[in-house]
Structure 1
Amino acid sequence: MKTILKYVILFFLISCNNLSAQNLEAKVDKLLNEKFKKEGPGSVFLVAKKGKVMYRKAFGMADLEMNIKMQSEFVFEIGSMTKQFTAISILMLVEQDKIKLNDEITKFIPDYPTNGNSITIHHLLTHTSGIKDFTSMKSIKDIARADLSPKELVDFFKNEPIDFKPGEAFKYCNSGYVILGYIIEIVSGQSYGEFIDQHIFKKLEMKNSYYASHEKIIKNRVSGYRNKDGYMNTNYISFSIPYASGSIMSNVDDMLKWQNAIDKNKLLSSDIVEKAFTNYKLNNGSKINYGYGWHIKEVNGKLTREHGGSIFGFKSMGVYLPQEQVYVIGLSNCDCNSPTEITRDIASLFAN
Structure 2
Amino acid sequence: MLLRSAICAAALLLCHPYAAFAQDAAKSALGEQDLAGRIDAAIAPYFKADAPGATVIVVKDGKTVLRRAYGMADTSRTIRMTPDMALRLGSLTKQFTSTAILMLGEEGKLSLDDDITKHLPDYPTRGKKITIEHLLTHTSGIASFTSKPGYTTGMTQDLTVAQMIDSFKNDPLDFEPGSQYRYNNSGYFLLGAIIEKISGQSYASFLEQRIFKPLGMLDTYYEGIKPGKAPVAAGHTRSASGFGPAKPLSMTQPYAAGALVSTVDDLARWDAAVSAGKLLKPASWQRAFTPYRLSDGKPTTYGYGWGISQVQGETAIGHSGGINGFSTYALRVPGKGVYVAVLTNSDAGPASPGLVARKAAGVAIGKPYREFREAKLDEAAFDAVAGTYEVEKGVQRVFRRTGDGLSMQRTGMPQVAVKAASSTEFFLPGTLEWFEFQREGNKSDGKVVAVTHHQDGVPVVHPRIGDAPPARRAIKIANASFDTRVGRYELRPGFVLELTREGDRYFAQATGQGKLEIFPMSETRFFSDRVDAEISFEGQTLVLKQGGRDTPGRKL
Give TM class, smaller chain. Answer: over 0.9
Query: What is the aligned counterpart of 2:97 among 86, 96, 109?
Result: 86
Q: Distance in 2 between matches of 1:214 and 1:269?
A: 30
Change (3 A) 1:160 1:57: same
Which residue does the alignment assign to 1:127? 138
Q: 1:178 aligns with which of 189, 201, 222?
A: 189
> Match for residue 255 of structure 1?
267
CA deviation string 1:266-296 (max 9, x = no partner): 2112122222111221111111011100001
Output the CA distance in 2 between the equivalents of 1:9 and 1:191: 55
Larger relative contact order (CA 8 Å, sep ≥ 6): 1
Bigger shift: residues 3-12 or 123-132: 3-12
Question: Structure 1: 5+ residue runs without aligned partners?
Answer: none
Identity %: 40
Contact conserved, 1:147 with 1:241, CA < 8 A, in 2?
yes
Deviates more, 1:61-70 or 1:71-80: 61-70
Structure 2: state its 5+ residue gaps: 1-11, 367-556
Shift of 1:12: 8.0
Alpha-carbon distance, 1:233 to partner: 0.3
The answer to whether the 8 Å contact 1:77/1:247 transfers is: yes
Against the structure 1 CA distance between its residues 22 and 115, is the aligned structure 2 distance closer, same or farther, given a 3 Å change threshold? same
Q: What does residue 271 of structure 1 align with?
A: 283
Give the SS at the match of 1:193.
helix
2:38 equivalent to 1:27? yes
CA deviation profile, 1:101-156 (whole Å, cap 9, x unmatched): 00001111112111111100000000111111110101313430111111111110
Q: Is the 8 A contact 1:169 1:282 kept in 2?
A: yes
Distance, in Å, in 1 between the alignment partners of 2:15 and 2:216 is 46
2:353 to 339, 342, 352: 339
Contact kept, 8 Å, 2:219 with 2:228, in 1: the verdict is no
Does structure 2 retain, via aligned residues, the 8 Å contact 1:32–1:59? Answer: no
TM-score (ref. length: structure 1): 0.94
Query: What does residue 202 of structure 1 align with?
Result: 213
Q: Which runs of 4+ in 1 moved over 4 A?
A: 1-20, 214-218
CA contact (8 A) 2:43 2:359 kept: no
Q: Secondary structure at the match of 2:36?
A: helix
Report the counterpart of residue 157 of structure 2 in structure 1: 146
CA deviation map 1:233-269 (0-9, x unaligned): 0000000111100000000000011111111122112
Aligned residue for 1:159? 170
Q: What is the SS of the residue equivalent to 1:320?
A: strand
- Residues 1:319 and 2:331 aligned together: yes
**Aligned to 1:91, what secondary structure does the other structure show?**
helix
Which residue, out of 93, 99, 104, partners 2:115? 104
| 3-state SS of paired residue (2:328) | strand
SS in 1 for 2:190: helix
**Which is helix-richer, 1 or 2?**
1
| Residue of structure 2 equivalent to 1:310 | 322
SS in 1 for 2:336: coil
> d(CA) in 1 for partners of 2:304 and 2:33?
36
The residue number in structure 2 matching 1:193 is 204
Matched pairs, number: 352
Range moving further from structure 2, 27-36 or 184-193: 27-36
Does the residue aligned with 1:344 lie in a helix, a strand or coil?
Answer: helix
Secondary structure in structure 1 of the residue aligned to 2:330: strand
CA RMSD, 1 decimal: 2.2
Q: How far 1:202 sits from its partner (Å)?
A: 1.0
Structure 2 counterpart of 1:288, from 294, 300, 304: 300
**Per the alignment, do residues 214 and 104 of structure 1 end up closer, same or farther by CA in structure 2, a change over 3 Å counting?**
closer
Give the aligned partner of residue 114 of structure 1. Answer: 125
Within the candidate set 245, 248, 256, 1:244 is matched to 256
Amino acid at match of 1:107: K
Identify the range of structure 1 (140-149 vs 77-86) with the bigger mean alpha-carbon deviation. Answer: 140-149
* Stretch moving more, 76-85 or 58-67: 58-67
Cα separation, 1, equivalents of 2:275 and 2:290: 15
- Which structure 2 residues correspond to residues 72-83 of structure 1 after superposition, within 5 A? 72-83=83-94
- Structure 1 position 349 matched with structure 2 position 360: no
Could you tell me which amino acid in structure 1 is paired with residue 135 of structure 2? L
Give the whole-Å Cα distance in 1 for the aligned partners of 2:244 and 2:271.
Answer: 33
Structure 2 vs 1, CA of residues 7 and 111 (structure 1 numbering), >3 Å: closer, same or farther? closer
